[in-house]
Chain A
Amino acid sequence: MASSDALLTPAPVGGARWRYRLRLALREPTTVIAILMAALFAYLIVLPILSILADAATVQFGDERRTGGGTGGFTSYYLYRAFVSPVAYDLFWEPLLNTLKVAFGAITISLAVGGVLAWLIARTDMFGRRWFATALIVPYMLPAWTFALAWNTLFKNRTVGGQPGWFEAIGLTPPDWLAYGQVPITIILALHYTPFVILLFGSALRRFDSQLEDSARILGASGWVVAAQVILPLMRPALLSAVLLIFAKCLGEFGVPYVLGLPVKFDVLATSLYRSIGSRQTGVAGVLAGAIMLIGVLAIMVDAYLAREARRFVTVGSKGSMNRLSRLKGLRWPATGFAGVVFMLSVGMPLLTLALSTVMHQPGSFALSNFTLDYWIGQDLPTVAMRTGILFSPDLWQAAFNTITIVGIASICSGILGVLTGYVVVRTTIRPLAIFLRQVTFMPYLVPGIAFAAAYLSLFAVQRGPIPGLYGTTLILVLALMADQMPYASRAGISAMMQLGKDPEEAAQIVGAGWFRRMTSIVIPIQKGSLVTGILLPFISGIKGLSLFVILAVPATDVLTTFSLRLVDYNYTQAANAVVLIIAGLAYGGTVLAQRLTRTNLAEGLGT
């Protein structure tokens, strides 16, 4: 050993240790990629959010006189205007109250209905359990405002112009409270989120050990006592989790209140924000977006806190776990009937209504002469703008093309970035970098889509430095959607990489494979499945997404959802309904296809 020392390469010099560290850090591109990605996400996620929060506190162009300051200076005017001024009630407090009313109404109904259904499906001998288990989830695969349009088709009254609803058409004018506003919005959101409860509760119930129930029974407790004192407390974590997630989702829900709230000026926070942006009140929009984000963050944080608390008693599902079905006996048929009715109300009727409406000239008239395929495939129609059936409308194909390209590119990018995030988070030796990446990619989850879109508008609408204004381009949609999907993409990527572990890659390294070779021959082929899932699921949820696009899209960059919303605005009921049916078909077909391809269960992809 001593003899070979003399032959060794250069003697130690100052700074060698730094050279060593640098060499280790740069030996592989992992760290460099991690740094680049951190910069990218800081720009695409953090900066927009900071920008809109800054909007809320700085004087906007055109507001100099009102605020008494120069453009860009600090002001509390917008906070004052949104929270305290005479218009504050209309701008913020009433929408907030409406949001809460709708959200809690929807939560109550969906918990009651979904809870019962979950129990029927998971723990009883109801007829057709398997079929219902899938069928009752369908509403969640469809965009929520599909149901809003169906509702409109049935209940629209003379308060608003355009084609009346079926009831109005046959002379039964529905009252405003039934046609618009809180009641229909609550019912629709409840039906839309019921599957959520069924899934969350169902899996908790399935894990629930019958032996716990039995022990209580043996000690002499009656069925009701068991339900109240054993089952309910153990189900509480699932219950709370469902409540908070539905709340967070209702908070950002735009389509339904837009379609059904507008005619009676029933504003929720999301539509109020939309209005402020539409009327170019940038500062107020910043305040509203900030408020929505804050409420969203609080809801998710409470959920995370409760989830941590709940982990203390996950005795549910022990080893001897068994799952016995309750016998419904005489209630077997009524129970099945109940599930059937819920299915009809939440899937059958809305879709049937929409489908029929697209082949009928006059609403509510079922004479054979009233049926037509013109709205799908007609030519030279006597309407002002829609001169052909929807399938011959170039606008539809343009919107479809936009949808596929925008959502497609965004999903592919976020899928790849997700896998890369997973890779560098798990592999980088610089821990703060890993933590930053993990957290920054999670941020959009806390921000409802509409607020996130507003944030994008705030940062990218105008030229900033070398970056030109992006409003009206496809790029801004792609970027926003991609960033919005990062929470799911990066979580999927990180968990896939964690599962894979380092060993397979290190084994390749040992036999001589460099970084790129390892990526192409080992990591990516092994992660192919999760990459496909990571692209498909966001793609499907992107197709039916509305709140992000409605703020950022212009007619030229319309996607299918915004296109149908525009048709609603122009009162082209049949055409709008047809487009929504197309979207629903795509979303449903895509979900089924994705499940087939990836052999995943829907419940797992539910978060998106």
Chain B
Amino acid sequence: MEYRSFVDIYTEWDIVAARQLGRNEAKNSGFGTVDQARITTAISELARNIYLYAGKGRLEIERLSENGLHGIRIIASDEGPGIQDMRKVMEDGYSTSGGLGAGMPGVKRLMDGFKVDTEPGVGTTITATKWLR
């Protein structure tokens, strides 16, 4: 059975709400402290990117259960400007906002699966998964 919940991102405080939701879901799915921190941090990065670059969007959390494996999927979607140069964005230190530019490559390392669907002018959807070991 599929179980999904979400937080709409409009303000900085929605990032905190999304994080809180993620932490609870991770805890209830049986993830340990370290993985809880990884998942929460990944959500924080993706939600903040929505807030910073798209203005608004949605962060969804889905509990996964496939072939006896359990996990969590984060889906961050927006209808913002999209990403022009994916290769650059995945380089450590690339930022268009004077940030650390460590968010996107960081999320990829924090999670087990990471996928970006983006189209300039249309929007961005980022999916990141973590499996319970």
The judgment on whether A and B are partners is no
- On B, residues with C-beta under 8 Å from A are none
- On A, residues with C-beta under 8 Å from B are none
